[in-house]
Structure formats: structure tokens, C-alpha cells
Amino acid sequence: MSSNEPVETLDCIGLYCPQPLFQTKEAIDSIEAGDILELLADDPAAEEDIKRFCKRTGHILLSFERLEDGTQRFLIKRRE
């Protein structure tokens, strides 16, 4: 498995604040320390919310990208 291979994908397309944040917290809590969660969202507030969540909780935002269709893709590593 590559170092940035997610163990789980969370699809929050069509959900709006605060649902992507709540579901991300639940998903992160369900994976092992050091594992990676892929989050897909289209809520305009998700970028700031998820970045703030990672900073506050100590999880590592490995990458963020905005796809051509407007979907935001996050790779979040659960803190060790």
C-alpha cells in the first residue's frame, strides 16, 4: 500500500454544513491511527471547515484538491 492510499472514502457530495464535518469526525474516529481517510465534498464551506478541524484536532491534511466538477477531495491522516 502506498503511503497516501486511503483506507476509507467518505462521500459527502450533496451534504452541507455541518454534515461533512460531523461525518468526517465519525469516520476519522473509526479508522486506526496513521490511516488515511479520503473525503469528497461539494459544500463551499468544507474547505475551511476541514482545514480548521485538522488543525484543531492534530490530524494531518495530506492533500486538498478541487476537481474539475467542483468536488473537493481531501486526504486526511489520523494522528498517531
3-state secondary structure of 61: strand
Q: Is residue 1 part of a domain?
A: no
Q: Which residues are catalytic?
A: 17
In a domain, 67, yes or no: yes
Is the pTM of the predicted complex or chain greater than 0.85?
yes
For residue 3, being part of any structural domain is answered with no
Q: Is residue 71 part of a domain?
A: yes
Q: Name the domain count of the chain.
A: 1
Sign of the CA dihedral running 11, 17, 19, 22: positive
CATH code of the domain covering residue 65: 3.30.110.40
Give the residue numbers spanning the domain of 36.
8-77
pLDDT reading at 1 higher than 70: no
Q: Is residue 37 part of a domain?
A: yes
Q: Is 2 within a domain?
A: no
> What is the pLDDT at residue 4?
82
**pLDDT tens per residue across span 44-59:** 999 999 999 999 999 9
